[in-house]
A and B are shown apart, each in its own frame.
Chain A
Amino acid sequence: MNEIGLTQILFVSTALFFIGVYGFLTRKNMITMLMSIELLLNSVNINFIAFNKFLYADKLDGLFFTVFIITIAAAEAAVAIAIIIHLYRKLKSIDVDDTDIMKF
């Protein structure tokens, strides 16, 4: 076993990203799909921090990207949950198969 480097951390973030993809493809419930999207965004954040730490330690740009991604993820989650609750009020269901009222 060698020292913990970039490769090990990138493996963690890769695995987390594709776990999120798996969840997004298999889930039918909107809230759980939103949770999968949060996992995807977090794996990207891990990548930015790891590259900043191991490759570009003289800059802080990866850190700023992470801060902005966290901010936008929070805004996105809030808007998504507002939409989900509004849909639940209208349809009494948050299953993606039932939300076809925009089809014509």
Chain B
Amino acid sequence: MSASQVIFYIIAAIIIGGGILAVTSRKIFRAAVFLLFSLLGIAALYFYLNYEFIAAVQIVVYVGGIVVLIIFSIFLTHASGDEMKKPVLWRSVFAGLAAVFATALTYLYITEHNFVANSAASVSPSVRNIGLQMLSTTEHGYILPFEVVSMLLLAALIGCIVIAIKIKTKE
């Protein structure tokens, strides 16, 4: 095995191991930390595929934003260190069987399917190319989704404030 393969298998082990521990750990804070490792592994996979911009976005948004948000909400809603209830046995057995068989079936189809690569000249995923295409108004530009997403973020911001605000009731 070459060094590149070894690195890929280490990254894959971190992603899948972190994911499994994040959904099975009984302590919720540990689950959040394992989720953090899984997300960092995914960022490493993007670096491995030479998509540096997406890897940076993954680290900034997920690791720096969402996981910190989840950890704060754990601190607000749990006494840290207490264990969650065990899931019902038959539910975890059937969910596990469903997950294993669905993974096996999907992997079978992936190995059977013949992927045809597009042989046109490749475009480098540099920040310059990404920015030029994202903000262009021509046929393959992404300016409209960009603006729509900005509206969505504004709506989510206002929605969060409205939902989480404390309404004083007159006693």
Contacts and interface: CB of A to CB of B under 8 A. Distances in A.
Interface in B94-140: 95-96, 98-100, 102-103, 106-107, 110-111, 115-118, 120-123, 125, 129-130, 133-134, 140
* Secondary structure of the A contact surface, majority rule: helix
Contact of A86 (B120, B123, B140, B163): B163
Contacts of B129: 60
Interface in A45-97: 45-46, 49-50, 52-61, 63-64, 66-68, 70-79, 81-86, 88-89, 94
Contacts of A22: 23, 95-96, 98-99
B159 A79 contact: yes
Interface string A5-20: 0111111101110111
Contacts of A42: 38-39, 42, 62
B69 A26 contact: no
Contact of A67 (B15, B54, B102, B159): B54
